[in-house]
Amino acid sequence: MEEITIHRLNDSRRQGPELAYLVAVEANEQESMWGAEDSLNELEELANTAGATVLGRMVQHLAQPDAQTYLGKGKAQELAELDKQLTLDLIIFDDELSPTQQKTLEKMLNARVVDRTALILDVFAQRARSHEGRLQVELAQAEYLLPRLAGSSTYSRQAGGSLGAGGTGGAIGVRGPGETRLELDRRRIRHRITSLRKEIEETHAQRALQRKQRIAQAMPTIALVGYTNAGKSTLFNALTGAGSLAEDKLFATLDPITRRLLLPNNQEALLSDTVGFIQKLPTRLIAAFRATLEEVVEADLLLEVVDIRHENAFEQSETVRDILDELGASDKPRVTALNKIDLLHDPATIDTSLYTNAVPISATQVTGLEELCAKISSVLADAMEQVRVLLPFERGDLVELFHRRGLIEHEEHDEEGTWLQGRLPHSLAAYFLPFVEVTE
Ligand SMILES: Nc1nc2c(ncn2[C@@H]2O[C@H](COP(=O)(O)OP(=O)(O)OP(=O)(O)O)[C@@H](O)[C@H]2O)c(=O)[nH]1
Ligand SMILES: [Mg+2]
């Protein structure tokens, strides 16, 4: 602690990164398999991504977080002392605080009180690029803020716009998407929420249309899913040659992007890169990203990327499974890419049996990708429909479509037309329905 105090400048308007302190309660009865220290490591990464420097952390073991002060009363007092001593800019709590906890803590502390949700929203706000992404983040922020505004010093203190260190558009926790500042007037927030919902609804309708056109093209769709920073975008680029932003940062990708992917047997599919998941992601946030995550919900196959070198790889994958459950997408066909094997001492030691249809790969070294595509192809084939059709000569287009998107097992021509037997993606089956021949 001493050392930290020496490095500190006592001027609260100094330039440079905001100084933060992390706080977690390790609850006895929590369902999650994450430990408090691992969760705090991740919170620290989030804080760094948001531009803060973390000076230290505090963990308390409790049956459950205190309803008023999150920490126990004594420990909260201790935190207040520390806050004075270090003149912190913000204190970040590793759970979502209730409005009551937020207010009580703000009375006790000089530093701004920021919880995990506000921090994630802050990172999202800095990352959102597309129009739709910005709308979704702003809506999630507005809905988060509304019940917390009355009497909150963290939010009302910033309203004048003069405070706040570092970063564009204000301080961590009160920044909107891009250069904007969050609206902090309750009446105006309510209006904004209504108009944001409407605008999102409109963009949503557009996406639904695009998706319909895609179904008309009848390619099987594959969505990348996985924990943030697992390497989804790197793999996306390696597989499609596209330029999706890949960075050693949490939530580098917010906006979905879709490209064509060529599988073995010249079968084509569409691959989408999407937003990463993180533990303790509030349901409200998932709801806000529902439009973006529709790529996931609508996909024929999910390609999960796991950073197998991460010490919490399994916990991260569990978290991904929980969120997919929440989205109603957990029973889709799945292939798991166990990524970053180039960083492992001995890749042969990986226990692939822990994951569904797992293939060890390195997205940066471009190793294992052929095996991965072969696995995708075979899992897709398993999920396809077995059909036998007789296509009349004038439907050469359907013969060609079957060749391109399906898997042909038998082909024959006679005076009636072309007989094709094989497997077709479900999305395509409807086109062939009038020509289906019952197999004896
Ligand atoms: N050593 C190694 N690093 C990798 C590999 N794949 C990805 N990375 C690195 O991991 C970091 C995160 O990669 P991204 O592709 O941005 O991860 P992401 O899953 O898209 O992350 P978000 O979009 O933030 O959710 C980057 O620094 C990549 O260079 C790999 O196979 N080996
Ligand atoms: Mg990404």
Those residues whose C-beta lies under 8 Å from the C-beta of residue 330, and which sit 6 or more positions away, are: 321, 324
pLDDT of residue 218: 64
Work out the mean pLDDT of the chain and round it to a whole number. Answer: 84
Backbone angles phi, psi at 110, to 5 degrees: -85, -35
Assess whether the C-beta atom of 118 lies below 6 angstroms from ligand 1.
no
Ligand at minimal distance from the CA of 244 is 2
- Quick one: 128 and 159 in the same domain? yes
Average pLDDT over residues 23-43: 85
Assess whether the C-beta atom of 340 lies below 6 angstroms from ligand 1.
yes
Assess whether the C-beta atom of 362 lies below 6 angstroms from ligand 1.
yes
Write the CATH number for 102.
Answer: 3.40.50.11060
pLDDT of residue 428: 76
Number of domains in the chain: 3
- Quick one: 31 and 162 in the same domain? yes
What is the distance between the alpha carbons of residues 309 and 363, in angstroms, rounded to a whole number?
A: 13
Cα of 361 vs centre of ligand 1, distance in Å, is 12
Give the confidence band of 109 by pLDDT, cuts at 50, 70, 90: very high
Those residues whose C-beta lies under 8 Å from the C-beta of residue 243, and which sit 6 or more positions away, are: 237
**Would you say residue 236 has pLDDT above 80?**
yes
Cα of 305 vs centre of ligand 2, distance in Å, is 11
Give the confidence band of 81 by pLDDT, cuts at 50, 70, 90: very high
- Using the structure block, give the residue that is written with the tokens 């009865």: 29
**Would you say residue 401 has pLDDT above 90?**
no
Residue, of 220 and 378, whose pLDDT is higher: 378
What is the distance between the alpha carbons of residues 432 and 424, in angstroms, rounded to a whole number?
A: 9
Residues 63/28, Cβ–Cβ less than 8 Å: yes
Give the confidence band of 10 by pLDDT, cuts at 50, 70, 90: very low
Ligand at minimal distance from the CA of 252 is 1
- Quick one: 256 and 400 in the same domain? no
Q: What is the pLDDT of residues 254-295, one digit of tens each?
A: 777 888 898 887 778 889 998 888 888 777 777 767 766 877
* β-sheet bridge partners, residue 18: 52
Residue, of 7 and 169, whose pLDDT is higher: 169
CA angle 276, 301, 299 (to 5 degrees): 75
Assess whether the C-beta atom of 231 lies below 6 angstroms from ligand 1.
yes
* String of DSSP letters for 349-396: G--GGGSTTEEE-BTTTTBSHHHHHHHHHHHHHHTSEEEEEEE-GGGH
Cα of 253 vs centre of ligand 2, distance in Å, is 4
- Quick one: 391 and 298 in the same domain? no
Q: What is the pLDDT of residues 201-235, one digit of tens each?
A: 888 777 777 766 665 566 788 999 999 999 999 99
Annotated binding residues for Mg(2+): 233, 253
What is the distance between the alpha carbons of residues 225 and 256, in angstroms, rounded to a whole number?
A: 11
Q: Is residue 146 part of a domain?
A: yes
- Quick one: 175 and 276 in the same domain? no
Q: Which of 216, 247, 268 is the last residue of a domain?
A: 216
Residue 177: which of 229, 251, 103 has the closest Cα? 251
Q: What is the pLDDT of residues 322-355, one digit of tens each?
A: 999 988 888 899 999 999 999 999 988 888 999 9
- Quick one: 74 and 130 in the same domain? yes
Write the CATH number for 280.
Answer: 3.40.50.300
The residue nearest atom 1 of ligand 1, judged by CA position, is 340
Assess whether the C-beta atom of 179 lies below 6 angstroms from ligand 1.
no
Q: What is the pLDDT of residues 119-168, one digit of tens each?
A: 999 988 888 877 888 888 899 999 998 888 876 777 765 443 333 333 34
Assess whether the C-beta atom of 228 lies below 6 angstroms from ligand 1.
yes
pLDDT of residue 156: 64
**Sheet with 385-391, side-by-side order of all strands:** 385-391, 417-424, 407-414
Assess whether the C-beta atom of 117 lies below 6 angstroms from ligand 1.
no
Residue 122: which of 101, 137, 109 has the closest Cα? 137
pLDDT of residue 15: 66
Q: Which domain holds residue 167?
A: 1-216
Atom of ligand 1 nearest to the CA of 245: 16
Q: Is residue 440 part of a domain?
A: no
Cα of 380 vs centre of ligand 2, distance in Å, is 24
